[in-house]
Amino acid sequence: MGVPTSRNGVFLSRRLLLGKEEEMEPIRFLWLRDEPPLPPPSYQSEGASGMDLASAEEAVIAPGEIRLLASGYAVAIPPGYELQARPRSGLAIRHGITLINSPGTIDSDYRGEIMIGLINLGKASYTVARGERVCQLVLMPVTRAAVQVVTRLDDTARGAGGFGHTGRF
């Protein structure tokens, strides 16, 4: 699967379906602020799964603090897909900066500003600079379930066992 290609200035997304690459409707980003725009989310390498997204504001995040940062962008996602916001591994490993809800879901019908909920799990305050890439957005297909309320569920070997019931190793 290659980097998105351009046709008449519109970047087309590509997806691999049953071993065949096909074009799909592009993801459209809209800059919402009066200040000069930040670069839109983008893939940083040929094989990257996620597009890095930057913070549109500077913030200092103290240890244990949760901050909601603005991206400056709204998005239109093709129907049948979602964008998942995920942590950037370097920020998490080096500084303890991660997303408070991971993955965060951006639904295809949401048109508000993309907000980034960060938490500092590290031991020192961390300063986020305007334009710093703070998370990554991964496009994922969505499957919607049919819901049925029943009076009984079928039995399984596992039953109601959970929360470590299979042991450590």
In whole angstroms, give the CA distance from residue 128 to residue 122. Answer: 14
Identify the helix (H) or strand (E) that includes residue 85.
Answer: strand 81-87
Q: Please check whether residue 165 lies inside any domain of the structure.
A: no
Domain total for the chain? Answer: 1
Q: Please check whether residue 63 lies inside any domain of the structure.
A: yes
* Cα–Cα nearest to 81, from 146, 144, 18: 144
pTM here is: 0.82
> How confident is the model at residue 166, as a pLDDT?
77
CA distances from 59 to 81, 113, 126, 129, 163 (A): 31, 18, 8, 7, 37
CATH number at residue 130: 2.70.40.10
Section 108-113 average pLDDT: 98
Within the chain, residue ranges assigned H as helices are 89-95
In whole angstroms, give the CA distance from residue 74 to residue 43. Answer: 18
Owning domain of residue 66: 27-141
Q: Please check whether residue 73 lies inside any domain of the structure.
A: yes
Phi, psi of 35 (to 5 degrees): -75, 165
Section 108-136 average pLDDT: 98
* Cα–Cα nearest to 131, from 34, 38, 33: 38
In whole angstroms, give the CA distance from residue 100 to residue 79. Answer: 26
Q: Please check whether residue 61 lies inside any domain of the structure.
A: yes
Task: Give the tens place of pLDDT for each residue, 39-82.
Answer: 999 999 999 999 999 999 999 999 999 999 999 999 999 999 99
Q: Is 169 helix (H, G, I), strand (E, B) or coil?
A: coil
Q: Please check whether residue 82 lies inside any domain of the structure.
A: yes
Within 48-161, residue ranges assigned H as helices are 89-95
Q: Please check whether residue 77 lies inside any domain of the structure.
A: yes
Section 100-105 average pLDDT: 95
